[in-house]
């Protein structure tokens, strides 16, 4: 049975009031349209990434490696040692909230965990638990928590609701690069085979064909010739696209997606 589509006026009713319960106690609910599908296994394998398998975010069992926690902790330790900025960003946030209303995901959803400050806390809370003295001793009182499957799913749900535009960083009085925190979280998830298809498939296509759509050279030529024929019908003028023309003085490159749409009709 298909889900009932909400009316525009219903979607526009966004509640920006913070919830009464502690965010640490609130379990993440995956809402349709707010998360991406998992990578196609063959593309994951093509890139040489670990734990390739068939899974989806709505599955109860994500088929994680048995030692997935150790893998993430070791990955976090390596990055804390390698990137001084990462450790600084984990430690210096004062939760002033200057970034809160700057994120378009928070503005569009009203979900507090989409505030950059709280999205970063999803990772900081785990960092505190295992990499700070206060977190090891005081636990939740210090804003620390254990890394569990639910926390991992929370990471996936919210760290991919970030375009890394860095608008939040512009308004941060401490200059914390929240996009960098997002990148670190995604890297850690990659170590155990968690990512999204919208990233993995285009990257695999680039490795194979040199463009994110996976267009083969003959497909490109066919597209250009088809465009030339349509232009002839529209204008009455037949042109021959100069592909790989020797001695040409200009190299004209447009986004690969345009070859399969219509904008290039007006830029040839």
> Is pLDDT of 255 > 80?
no
List pLDDT tens digits, range 89-124: 999 999 999 999 999 999 988 999 999 999 999 999
Q: Identify the residue whose tokens are 């990772």.
A: 123
Q: What is the mean pLDDT of residues 149-176?
A: 95
The reply to whether 158 falls in a domain is: yes
> Is pLDDT of 268 > 60?
no
The reply to whether 236 falls in a domain is: yes
The reply to whether 149 falls in a domain is: yes
| Range in 95-99, 233-237, 249-253 with the lowest mean pLDDT | 249-253
| Farthest-apart Cα atoms in the chain, separation | 78
% of residues, the chain, pLDDT over 90: 64
The reply to whether 199 falls in a domain is: no
> Are 78 and 146 part of one and the same domain?
yes
> Is pLDDT of 33 > 90?
no
> Are 156 and 76 part of one and the same domain?
yes
The reply to whether 99 falls in a domain is: yes
The reply to whether 208 falls in a domain is: no
- Greater confidence, 260 or 101? 101
Q: What is the structure's pLDDT at 122? A: 96
> Are 112 and 225 part of one and the same domain?
no
> Are 124 and 250 part of one and the same domain?
no
Cα 255 from chain centroid (whole Å) = 21
Q: What is the mean pLDDT of residues 30-40?
A: 91
The reply to whether 42 falls in a domain is: no
Q: What is the structure's pLDDT at 187? A: 97
Rg (CA), the chain: 23
List pLDDT tens digits, range 206-234: 999 888 888 888 888 888 888 888 888 88
> How far is residue 246's CA from residue 137's CA, in Å, rounded to a whole number?
70
> How far is residue 95's CA from residue 76's CA, in Å, rounded to a whole number?
22
Q: What is the mean pLDDT of residues 187-192?
A: 97
Q: What is the structure's pLDDT at 169? A: 95
Give, rounded to a whole angstrom, the gap between the first and last alpha carbons of the chain: 46
> Are 71 and 157 part of one and the same domain?
yes
> Is pLDDT of 1 > 50?
no
> Are 226 and 117 part of one and the same domain?
no
CA atoms lying within 13 Å on the CB side of residue 50: 14
Q: Which residues contact 129 (CB under 8 A, 6 or more apart)?
A: 135, 136, 139, 144, 145, 146, 147
Q: What is the structure's pLDDT at 129? A: 94
Q: Range of 136's domain?
A: 8-30+66-191
> Are 232 and 186 part of one and the same domain?
no
Among residues 72, 61, 50, the alpha carbon closest in space to that of 189 is found at 72
Among residues 74, 59, 83, the alpha carbon closest in space to that of 191 is found at 74
List pLDDT tens digits, range 19-31: 888 888 888 989 8
> Are 138 and 226 part of one and the same domain?
no
> Are 243 and 128 part of one and the same domain?
no
> How far is residue 257's CA from residue 264's CA, in Å, rounded to a whole number?
10
Single residue among 191, 226, 245 that ends a domain in this structure: 191
Backbone angles phi, psi at 164, to 5 degrees: 55, 40
> Is pLDDT of 267 > 60?
no
Q: What is the structure's pLDDT at 173? A: 95
Six-digit token pair at 228? 């030339």
Six-digit token pair at 177? 């690069």
DSSP helix/strand/coil, 100: helix
Confidence of residue 138 (pLDDT cuts 50, 70, 90): very high
Please list the helix, strand and coil fractions of the chain in percent, rounded to the nearest 5, in that order.
Answer: 55, 0, 45
Contact indicator for 205, 117 with CB cutoff of 8 Å:
no
Contact indicator for 174, 157 with CB cutoff of 8 Å:
no
Q: How far is CA 216 from CA 225, 230, 264, in A?
A: 14, 21, 18
Contact indicator for 156, 197 with CB cutoff of 8 Å:
no
Instruction: Return the beta strands (E) in 153-234 as ranges.
Output: none
> Is pLDDT of 48 > 90?
yes
Number of domains in the chain: 2
């Amino acid at each position: 049975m298909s889900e009932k589509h909400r009316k525009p006026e219903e979607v526009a009713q966004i509640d920006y009031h913070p919830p009464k319960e502690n965010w640490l106690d609130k379990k993440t609910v995956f809402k349709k349209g707010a998360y991406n599908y998992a990578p196609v296994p063959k593309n994951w394998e093509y890139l040489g990434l670990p734990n390739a398998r068939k899974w989806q975010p709505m599955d109860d069992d994500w088929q994680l490696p048995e030692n997935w926690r150790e893998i993430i902790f070791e990955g976090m330790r390596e990055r804390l040692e390698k990137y001084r900025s990462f450790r600084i960003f984990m430690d210096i946030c004062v939760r002033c909230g200057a970034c809160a209303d700057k994120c378009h995901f928070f503005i569009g959803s009203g979900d507090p965990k989409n505030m950059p400050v709280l999205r970063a806390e999803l990772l900081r809370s785990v960092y505190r638990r295992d990499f700070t003295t206060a977190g090891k001793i005081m636990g939740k009182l210090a804003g620390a928590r254990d890394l569990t499957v639910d926390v991992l799913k929370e990471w996936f749900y919210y760290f991919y609701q970030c375009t890394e535009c860095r608008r939040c960083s512009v308004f941060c009085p401490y200059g914390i690069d929240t996009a960098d925190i997002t990148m670190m979280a995604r890297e850690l998830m990659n170590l155990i085979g968690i990512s999204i298809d919208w990233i993995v498939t285009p990257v695999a296509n680039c490795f194979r064909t040199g463009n994110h759509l996976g267009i083969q050279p003959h497909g490109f030529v066919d597209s250009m010739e088809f465009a030339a024929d349509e232009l002839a019908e529209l204008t009455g003028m037949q042109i021959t696209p100069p592909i790989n023309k020797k001695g040409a003085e200009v190299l004209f490159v447009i986004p690969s997606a345009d070859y399969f749409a219509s904008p290039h009709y007006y830029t040839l």
